[in-house]
Amino acid sequence: MEAQSKKNECTFVLFFVLKAKVVFDDLFLIKNNFVLVYQLQLIQFQKKLLKKMATVSQLSSHVSSRRSTKKRPQNVPALAGCPQKKGIIRKLVTRTPKKPNSAIRKLALLRLTNGRRIYAYLPGEGKHSLQEHSVVLVRGGRVKDLPGIKYKRIRGVYDFEGLKGRTKGRSKYGTKRSITT
């Protein structure tokens, strides 16, 4: 009975050692159904239990060549990192949106101060007084139902007037506060 329990203990030790992938200096010596283990090294077992740390060679290679962060592509490349750009209208066009929307969207071909030519969306309802050679201010911001349009014109700046009679969301459409008494 006693030999059977020792055998079970030894098989448990063997199973535990194999699961932990412990390094041994000497091989297992199997004698009379017992496992004898000499000079057990717990290096890999401790590494598994503790948090893995970088080696000296990994640290030195990291210091010599720093990792560079990936550069994200710009959503508004024509602005060249600026929040807004001034532009001159070259042509006014209209375009219909993609499905399922249906409307006539007003766009303008602009030449920016940095020489780039872009199409910019005219936000807001109703008519506008823009024509060729009008000066406008452009910001980034795509229009979801117009493919390829990544810029919007800012209302209430330069030649682009704000909407009249707008009471809500006035800052987006360049409307001054109306004083009613």
> Which pLDDT tens digit goes with each residue over 80-128?
889 999 999 999 999 999 999 999 999 999 999 999 999 999 988 878 8
Confidence (pLDDT) at 32? 43
> Which pLDDT tens digit goes with each residue over 13-58?
444 444 444 444 444 444 444 444 434 445 555 556 565 677 777 7
Regarding whether 107 and 155 lie in a shared domain, the answer is: yes
What is the SS3 assignment for 43? helix
- pTM (two decimals): 0.60
Residue 179 lies in a domain: no
Domain with 118 in it: 80-173
Residue 178 lies in a domain: no
How many structural domains compose the chain? Answer: 2
Regarding whether 159 and 85 lie in a shared domain, the answer is: yes
Residue 48 is which amino acid?
Answer: K
Residue 109 lies in a domain: yes
Residue in 107, 94, 115 with CA at minimum distance from that of residue 149: 107
Residue 146 has pLDDT above 90, yes or no: yes
Residue 151 lies in a domain: yes
Regarding whether 26 and 99 lie in a shared domain, the answer is: no
Residue 181 lies in a domain: no
Regarding whether 145 and 100 lie in a shared domain, the answer is: yes
β-strand 34-36 against 117-121: which pairing, if any? unpaired
Regarding whether 125 and 89 lie in a shared domain, the answer is: yes
Residue 157 is which amino acid?
Answer: V
Residue 140 lies in a domain: yes
Residue 58 lies in a domain: no
